[in-house]
Amino acid sequence: MITKTIQNSFLFASLLFSHYSLATAHTPKDNDIITASHSLLKVELSIDEIEQLVLNSQNVGQTERLQGALKVRLAKLYQQAPTLKIGYLYARVLQKEHQFDEAIAIAEETLTIKPATKKQQSNTHMLLSNMLMIKGEFTQAKQHCTALIGSVSIMTTSTCVLDIRSQEGQLEQSYNSLLKITRNKEISEYTLQVLSEMAYRLKRYDDALLHLDNIQLNQSPVSLIALWADIQLGLNNHQQVLSSLGGLLNNVDDLEDSLLIRLAIAEKVTQNTTWQTLIKKRIALRELRQDTFHASDLAKYYLEVEPNTSKAIYWATINLKQAKMSSDKQLLVEAQLKGTE
């Protein structure tokens, strides 16, 4: 069973900012990133209300909602009176736009703010661990995992460390170790996602799907939905992807790029072109704007939806400059292999 204690925001940090969600945002309106005048932020929201908006941004159709407004507001609040929570939320928002160095600098600075207990700092340590792992700085990332000892569960700390080790070439060992640690125990959604992602990378698709057996897609973060879809595609369950993801939102224009791409991939085995047409328009917009923080989605599109080797390599290369996890490296390898066929 999935424990309800995952509502703690330090767990959401790992879910929201895993490599599955680096480029999941829906089509931004022209002023989504540049303005702070959205009606919901015209009033003086409390820090707790702002935190809830940031947490909600992991949900389907919400990943870029208020992004620009939140960034401007949190930057101002942090400049005026920096606190641990404000710095943490500001770093999360910066990370969404792949401003990793700035986000890491802010997060590290917040750890020097006193007074603060280890438990209060756990959100920031988890966020830093995840950002450093994405950048391929695994030693520093693990240091922030071990800093969690005493403030979170042993399972959470172990998951954090083993997730990083799996990126260092110890995938199978890390997966087996985490399986052993979690056997016959109540498991958080965070740990289930890490287990499932490891199994997926090992191409153990049935096991990967089993780890996600109890999730509710309409209540899950985009990163988890994308992983679930990849597993189903690995099992050739294309219709399952089409029927499940296609009904997540009433307005399909609000679906994230990553989900539209997976719908388009699933649709290719049918006679329909609905999702392929929709994502084609989205990709054209991304390219026009040179949205480099959507580079992984662009590369995946040109690998699996509308094959174009040169574009796939171009975007996979850009993506690897930003994120250096195993999936990012594999994306470029696959693009390069296509070029030799």
How many residues belong to the chain? 341
Residue 300 to residues 84, 122, 207, 290, Cα–Cα distance (Å): 37, 34, 24, 16
285-301, pLDDT tens digit by residue?
999 999 898 999 999 99
The residue behind tokens 């072109």 is 273
Average pLDDT over residues 256-279: 97
By the 10 Å C-beta count (0-12 exposed, 13-18 middle, 19+ buried), 171 is classed as: middle
51-65, pLDDT tens digit by residue?
999 988 888 888 777
Q: What is the predicted pLDDT for the residue at 284? A: 97
Mean predicted lDDT score pLDDT of the chain: 88
Over 90: is that where the pLDDT of 13 sits? no
Examine residue 115 and say whether the peptide bond preceding it is cis (omega within 30 degrees of 0). Answer: yes
Tokens representing residue 7 in the block: 């509502």
Q: Find out whether 257 and 286 touch, Cβ atoms under 8 Å.
A: yes
pTM of the model: 0.88
- As a whole-number percent, the residues of the chain with pLDDT over 90 amount to 74
Confidence of residue 39 (pLDDT cuts 50, 70, 90): low
Confidence of residue 151 (pLDDT cuts 50, 70, 90): very high
